């Protein structure tokens, strides 16, 4: 049995750099039938131009011709079959894009979707081409003709164009895709917020409010992200910062306490001694002598 192909390896689709996030390829083959086991690491639009394609998932089997195209969700295992046309040619335009690209799109345009969508999003989504989408694919063929590399900025714009069009014409499917993206978006926002407030005197209630989450949901997501309860995490990070400031010898403990998120010198001293067994003053004197 042949090993599974990680989709995008030979197209560089799985090595998308953070600054790229999108890659578009004009894929052509003349092999009559190509059957592969594949692992989809990034999201992938397969815009069929010529030939037919069959896809088998754990839950479904799909067959399409060049009147339809597919969106493969990231993180799935599939079987695919490509069947060439009568002149032994199979062609599709492939658009690989990362979770970060999807998060960025919905952060910018998420307000255009108002439908809640279905409860379940299939591993492979089917879309029907209309004249606009056919023209869109033709534009990609023109841009990538003769093996040309589409400029990175233009690749990002073409993905944004396609996603925007699908949001307007397939709002239910795209609403579910947005929900999938939002899981990661919320976690990203939590990380940004808490790490920006290590040295600020801010409560967990206030952090949860700024994340638009209940306190219990915020704590649950925090533990999932960091593997530790918020109070212990903030204590550790603030003490690490305090140690770094004390080692410079430029500021006194009473000056440092406010820089690491404490309202009073006494509460800072209590926490510091709880962690290190010394007061900040005792620690400072020890490292400076």
Instruction: Write the DSSP string, 122-177.
Output: -SEEEEE--HHHHHHHHHHHHHTGGGPPPPHHHHHHHHHHHHHHHHHH-HHHHHHH
Beta bridge partners of 56: 61, 79
Q: Residue 137 contacts by C-beta under 8 Å, 6 or more apart in sequence?
A: 47, 49, 69, 93, 129
Could you report how far apart the first and last alpha carbons of the chain are, in Å?
69
Q: Could you confirm whether domain 197-289 is CATH 1.10.10.60?
A: yes
Looking at the chain, which runs of residues are DSSP E strands?
5-7, 22-29, 33-40, 43-50, 52-56, 61-64, 68-72, 76-83, 90-97, 124-128
- Report which DSSP code applies to 89: -
pLDDT number for residue 13: 45
pLDDT number for residue 210: 87
Q: Which residues of the chain have pLDDT under 70?
A: 1-20, 85-87, 113-120, 181-185, 289
CB 256 within 8 A of CB 242: yes
Helix or strand run (H / E) with residue 16? none
Strands 5-7 and 33-40, sheet pairing: parallel
Nearest to 102 by CA among 11, 176, 210, 199: 176
pLDDT number for residue 11: 40
pLDDT number for residue 151: 92
Nearest to 159 by CA among 69, 78, 43: 43
The CATH code that applies to domain 5-180 is: 2.60.120.810
CB 66 within 8 A of CB 3: no
pLDDT number for residue 94: 94
Sheet containing strand 76-83, strands side by side: 5-7, 33-40, 76-83, 52-56, 61-64
Round the CA-based radius of gyration of the chain to a whole number and report it.
26
The Cα 124–Cα 120 span in angstroms is 12
What residue ranges do the domains of the chain occupy? 5-180, 197-289
């Amino acid at each position: 049995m042949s090993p599974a192909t990680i989709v995008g390896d030979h197209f560089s689709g799985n090595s998308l750099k953070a600054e790229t996030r999108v890659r578009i390829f004009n894929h052509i083959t003349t092999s009559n039938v190509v059957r592969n086991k594949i692992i989809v690491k990034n999201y992938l639009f397969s815009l069929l131009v010529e030939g037919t394609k069959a896809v088998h998932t754990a839950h479904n089997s799909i067959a399409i011709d060049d009147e339809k195209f597919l969106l493969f969700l990231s993180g799935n295992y599939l079987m695919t079959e490509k069947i060439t046309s009568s002149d032994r040619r199979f062609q599709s335009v492939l658009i690989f894009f990362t979770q970060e690209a999807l998060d960025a799109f919905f952060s910018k345009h998420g307000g255009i979707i108002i439908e809640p969508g279905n409860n379940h999003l299939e591993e492979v989504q089917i879309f029907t081409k209309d004249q606009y989408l056919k023209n869109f694919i033709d534009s990609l063929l023109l841009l990538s003709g003769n093996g040309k590399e589409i400029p990175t900025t233009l690749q990002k714009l073409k993905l944004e164009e396609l996603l925007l069009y699908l949001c307007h014409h397939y709002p239910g499917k795209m609403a579910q895709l947005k929900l999938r993206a939002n899981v990661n978006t919320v976690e990203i926002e939590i990380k940004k917020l808490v790490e920006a407030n290590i040295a600020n005197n801010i409560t967990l209630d206030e952090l949860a409010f700024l994340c638009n989450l209940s306190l219990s949901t915020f704590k649950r997501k925090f533990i999932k992200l960091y593997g530790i309860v918020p109070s212990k995490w903030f204590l550790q990070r603030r003490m690490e910062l305090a140690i770094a400031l004390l080692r410079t010898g430029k500021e006194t403990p009473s000056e440092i306490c406010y820089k690491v998120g404490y309202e009073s010198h006494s509460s800072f001293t209590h926490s510091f001694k709880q962690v290190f067994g010394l007061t900040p003053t005792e620690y400072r004197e020890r490292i400076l002598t």
